Structure 1
Amino acid sequence: MAGWLEIPLQYHVQRRIIHVDMDAFYASVEIHDQPHLRDKAVVVAPDPRQTHGHGVVTTANYVARKYGVHSAMPAAQALKLIPANELVFVPPRFNRYREVSGQVHQLFHELTDVIEPISLDEAFLDVTVNKWQEPNTIKMASWLQQQILIKTGLTCSVGISYNKFLAKVASDHNKPMGRTIVRPEMAQAFLSGLSIAKFFGVGKKMQASLHELGIFTGADLLKISQDELIRRYKKMGYVLYRHARGVDDSPVSEQRDRKSIGKETTFNQTITTNERVWRELTELSASVAQALAKKQVHGKVLVLKMRDRDFKTTTKRHSLDSYLATAPEIFAEAWQLWQKYGQLDDGIRLLGITLTDLYPLDYENITLPLLF
């Protein structure tokens, strides 16, 4: 595994990328619409006291996060962590979130049309060439933060750098209402002090593995050779080697893979209650999210498949403006489709969830040379 591993990395620092990440977006929308919630611990999830303990947290405001509540946590766990007099459950309203997200995206288009939405609450903007013909990226990012606050009443954090990886990490560095700039000459120092958990694509399992190697920060990661990282972690090892050195060539792009990922379950006995449908869709959403994470993709079109006891099959789809990847997001869309189109009169023999219009996460846009 020699030769190409020793080729010096090429640093392309001419691009100007802004990553915009809305602060606790869904919870912030609810607080904006219901100001009396401002001092409460707001958890966007169905109230588990009304759903027999079912449901997961979509997001939580910063008050709730101080108690340890986070996305994808069982909603019932939030009951154990937050005092009852402070906790407020708010069921998600994705139509409202899409409406506000649309207002934010209109502002993006005032700067550039080179936009890559990641979800309803975050996006990459390439402003290297922009509609303002403005060379000052910080000026444009500041304008975005101000205009988003004026138009929607919400705050966002922005990261500014010469590539997507650094811009995304920077946007999370000083939340809420943060603005972090990582210039080329600052990148190595910034990354060296960064926890390995903050490196894009490093999940809990990989964190544990890296910790066993004594890797806890970006500085530790620099000590491991590229061939060792690739041997242990394949493509992700190659990406980590590059990211630790501030290299990421993936473009801000709208190109998509049209393949799909789906899961379905056939039941021995037909389903006749909404509670059972809720439970099955929750499990299917988790399975689809796990498959998406394994393939490192996300998608924009959700398809709900339903078959009754007479084998009549119905499929309904919903196209979104942003990508779905997590179990709460997938479940919320599937449940909305069920509430609109589902029928229990003839029982349900099969349920399925499929996500199509897939797009790989940035670090999957890499092809390793096959020189082993």
Structure 2
Amino acid sequence: MATELPSASASARKIIHIDMDAFFASVEQRDDPNLRGKPVAVGGAKARGVVAAASYEARVFGVRSAMPSVTAKRLCPDLIFVKSRFDVYRSVSQQVREIFRAYTPLVEPLSLDEAYLDVTALGRPATDIAGEIRAQIREVTGLTASAGVSYNKFLAKLASDQNKPDGMCVIRPEQGAAFVQSLPVKRFHGVGPVTQKKMQRLGIETGADLAERDMAFLRANFRSSAEYYYRAARGIDDRPVRASRTRKSIGAERTFFEDLSTAEELSAALDDIIEIVWERIDANDASGRTITLKMKFADFQQITRAQSFAAPVADKAVFAKVGRELLADQLPVPKGVRLLGLTLSGLVGAAKIKTPKEQLSLGIE
């Protein structure tokens, strides 16, 4: 099949994706010189704790976010655990966003540590702008960031991961389709373990394999995702960078490196998620009437349990208490849990709710 190229209008855009390098762990190493150059994990060191983030020194040993702390310690006996400080991470994130907005109002944060920028209107080479932004981030925060530069969001995000840490990758319009087709499909956003296995069964290992399948085949096997896979395999993505959107909920979820099964493991993981979600609620000056717990089991069965209130929940203690009660009602779990999430919805009252949608990004720093 002939490769379809992006439209001229799409390829004329200049999109940058900035991703802070090992953000949480790097902040801890910056603030404590004794941690520099050493394997560091942000999270609970206790037996049922979970790694929230890992330094690059720890990743060499195979330590990853969402991994049980006991597993991480077994892989890296010298691993140093530090407690998370989300107030500090949020403060640094705000510094970085101020740098972004000095260049363009078209900034779409994805999490505390990454964002898209559309710099098309600046009339300057996007590579120069990305280089300046990375230099300013280093000067202002003492941290490093990686950048991906391309003509759409899909490719810019792939590119930012290409030369980590402290690197930059540029994918030009004439390179987009070939770059995507050289990648394993597991690098595509939205291709999780289940979809990856399904693609393998269908003989699809790379972007090139995916590009060889026509739309009829993709629709028959992937239904609503068919068009996304068809376009992604050809380097096509017309989504604009959105500076704001109306939020219907604020939440976070984590997919675990290993399935969790005990009350202690799940409670520790939920406590971390509560902290992250409440940081977002507080940052948005938000309140809401419904708290929802989400659990996905090892066999990918998913359940949600919710509690609603007549008056909006605006207190962290109440939010945490309800979240823990929703979890307690499901214990003991019948099988291992691979994903846990907590959300506040039915948002009311706060003008600041019109903000970019953020997602928990602990495994792809």
Structure 2 distance, partners of 1:284, 1:39, is 29
Letter of the structure 1 residue corresponding to residue 139 of structure 2 = I
Count of paired positions: 299
SS of residue paired to 1:71: coil
Structure 2 distance, partners of 1:262, 1:21, is 21
Equivalent residue, structure 1, for 2:49:
55
Letter of the structure 1 residue corresponding to residue 106 of structure 2 = V
Structure 1 distance, partners of 2:61, 2:314, is 37
- Which of 68, 80, 83 aligns to 2:74? It is 80
Note the aligned Cα RMSD (angstroms). 3.7
Structure 1: state its 5+ residue gaps: 1-5, 264-274, 290-298, 307-311, 319-336, 363-372
Q: What is the 5 A alignment of 1:122-271?
A: 122-130=114-122, 134-260=123-249
Deviations 1:123-170 (A, max 9, x none): 00000113xxx4211110000111101111100000000100000000
* 1:22 and 2:20 correspond: yes
Letter of the structure 1 residue corresponding to residue 21 of structure 2 = D
TM normalised by structure 1 equals: 0.71
Structure 1 distance, partners of 2:174, 2:133, is 25
Structure 2 distance, partners of 1:29, 1:128, is 31
SS of residue paired to 2:198: helix
- Which protein is bigger by CA-based radius of gyration? 1
- Which of 56, 65, 68 aligns to 2:59? It is 65
Q: Is the Cα–Cα contact under 8 Å of residues 30 and 142 in structure 2 kept in the other structure?
A: yes
Deviations 1:251-282 (A, max 9, x none): 1013435434889xxxxxxxxxxx97984474
Structure 1 distance, partners of 2:235, 2:109, is 22
Structure 2: state its 5+ residue gaps: 253-261, 277-282, 293-308, 329-341, 346-352, 360-365
Equivalent residue, structure 1, for 2:301:
none
Structure 2 distance, partners of 1:200, 1:172, is 12
Q: What is the 5 A alignment of 1:347-366?
A: 353-356=342-345
Inter-CA distance 230–257: structure 2 relative to 1 (3 Å threshold)? farther
Equivalent residue, structure 1, for 2:82:
90
Inter-CA distance 190–262: structure 2 relative to 1 (3 Å threshold)? closer
Equivalent residue, structure 2, for 1:103:
95
Letter of the structure 1 residue corresponding to residue 344 of structure 2 = L
Q: Is the Cα–Cα contact under 8 Å of residues 185 and 206 in structure 2 kept in the other structure?
A: yes
Task: Give the structure, 1 or 2, with the largest relative contact order (CA under 8 Å, sep 6 or more).
Answer: 2
Deviations 1:186-212 (A, max 9, x none): 112211211111111110111111111
Structure 2 distance, partners of 1:313, 1:278, is 32
Q: Is the Cα–Cα contact under 8 Å of residues 20 and 114 in structure 2 kept in the other structure?
A: yes
SS of residue paired to 1:184: coil
Inter-CA distance 223–99: structure 2 relative to 1 (3 Å threshold)? same
Structure 2 distance, partners of 1:341, 1:202, is 32
Letter of the structure 1 residue corresponding to residue 86 of structure 2 = F
